[in-house]
Amino acid sequence: MPVIKSRIKVDSDKFKDNKAYYQTLVKQLEERVEQAKVGGSERARTLHKERGRLFVRERIEKVLDPGSFFLEFNPLAAWDMYDNEVPCAGIVTGIGIVSGKECMLIANDPTVKGGTYHPMTVKKHVRAQEIAQENRLPTIYLTDSGGAFLPLQEDVFPDHYHFGRFFYNQAQMSAMGIPQICLVFGLCTAGGAYVPAMSDDVVQVKKWGCIFIGGPPMVKAATGEDIDAEALGGPDVHCRISGVSDYYARDDAHACEICRDIVAHLNSVKHNPLEMQAPEEPAYDPEEIYGIINKKPQEFFDMREIIARTVDGSRFDEFKALYGTTLITGFAHINGYPVGILGNNGILFPDCAVKGAHFIERCCQRHIPLLYMHNVMGFSVGSKAEREGIPKHGAKLVMTTANAAVPKFTVFVSGSIGAGNYGMCGRGYQGRLLFVYPSSYCSVMGGQVAAGILTRIKTDALKRAGKTATKEELDKLAQETREKYDYTAGPYFSTAHLYDDGIIDPVETRQYLTAGISASVNAPIPDTKFGVIRL
């Protein structure tokens, strides 16, 4: 494969200015992630430690193979929500290596509101199960939760993807042969009792691990029986008498050891269907990405420069390089894994859509994973575009993206605007993983355009009513619209609401994608069947 020839001048003032700005974005990201990883209040953490318990990330570390990478999802979930009292949404999820096997870990943080489930906690838990199911990953639940957060029960309990979905997913995955393993470190109360009960293997920790449909206060109120938590549903009850649990752990660390033994005996072998090459570092320093992406989002940069700092040896076999030039397509490798890449260099025109659909078909036929790299302002508009058939050509890209059965991965490098988000495998198109850069933004349209549209609508409405708006009123509306769009389109709003799987440092793109692609090939890659494509 040819090596991409970079045209970036790393000693230019513009590059240095961009890099300095981007480094502030990365520093802000690191600071916020570290803040979220602390967990709950100082009082809650002190009490937890005094009890001799391991913190949630210590538990995860003891379950994972020493020195292995943990692909954590959405450490900034619920950021700037719930008065910032639910860091990480109170739950840690991610893919890690356990006894040599890739597993999904879903771990409650009991220092955050007792590990109770807020709406974003539920969404994060369900998303982790979706990833595990699609990639056929053994799932390990590190439970320590008081159940649903009762003041928000209407947003946690009754709906399709609320609390009960956990157990439906567990039933489905177990039926598919995806192991479900539960380590009961603390409370599994009410509906939460079904997390261990629906698991294939259950490990319960002495004294602290308790499973019961109704806790001591409920039992007292309902039956008059006075009983403590351990006597009601501790490991001596469920390991010796009821049979709900399978393994009796002396403490948190022992539970982690037992878990590793369970995974070691799953008797499963990963069959990688992809033709691998020897891994190779990019020819250019990935940190140069900081200086390539412009401070002003509307300023152009060439996505090839990002690709050159992401793929093995900066080698890229570009497809249709002279046609539909605002969409880049081609083949490369990431740490030895083959990928087909689609990257934006601006607006998607009819020829870009046709080119992208053609390229996706080729990748699906060859069972090659797809990587979408966003910097797209949407599809072209105007009379010329309509006469050229932009709706039907855009639909080809959307159709092939939606139906592509190969593993799909998405990275928002910069903008992901309008229907361009759809054609380029945005969140609604069920890619395996979607990561965003600190420079990214995603919205139905740009804030400036939205401000213009809403101002025009207000002006026309007042005119029909025989009224007029002052310049100050219109300016205020435009300013408020721009500010709202800028905030809700930004990466922190996105990741807080789990519209992505995490904000990442561009330097770590290869590591995240490698872990994602590696996990994806635990599942077979089926043949793709497309629907009717309007020719």
Distance between CA 123 and CA 229 in Å, rounded?
Answer: 28
Kindly give the confidence (pLDDT) of every residue in the chain, 535 residues in length, as a single tens digit, with 9 standing for 90 and above. 899 999 999 999 999 999 999 999 999 999 999 999 999 999 999 999 999 999 999 999 999 999 999 999 999 999 999 999 999 999 999 999 999 999 999 999 999 999 999 999 999 999 999 999 999 999 999 999 988 898 999 999 999 999 999 999 999 999 999 999 999 999 998 888 999 999 999 999 999 999 999 889 989 999 999 999 999 999 999 999 999 999 999 999 999 999 999 999 999 999 999 999 999 999 999 999 999 999 988 889 999 999 999 999 999 999 999 999 999 999 999 999 999 999 999 999 999 999 999 999 999 999 999 999 999 999 999 999 999 999 999 999 999 999 999 999 999 999 999 999 999 999 999 999 999 999 999 998 877 888 888 888 988 888 898 988 888 888 888 888 888 888 999 999 999 999 999 999 999 999 999 999 999 999 999 999 999 988 8
CA dist 60 and 367 (Å) reads 33
| Cα torsion angle, 104, 110, 116, 121, sign | negative
Q: What pLDDT is stored for residue 384 in this prediction?
A: 95
Distance, in Å, from the CA atom of 144 to the CA atom of 211, rounded to the nearest integer, reads: 10
* pLDDT of amino acid 245: 98
Residues in Cβ contact with 420 at an 8 Å cutoff, skipping those fewer than 6 apart: 344, 347, 348, 374, 376, 377, 378, 379
Contact assessment for residue 166 and residue 123, using Cβ atoms and an 8 Å cutoff = no
Res 449: pLDDT: 82
Say if residue 52 is exposed, middle or buried (CB neighbours under 10 Å; 0-12, 13-18, 19+): exposed
pLDDT at 87: 98
**pLDDT on residue 459:** 87
Residue 366 backbone dihedrals phi, psi, to 5 degrees = -100, 5
pTM: 0.95
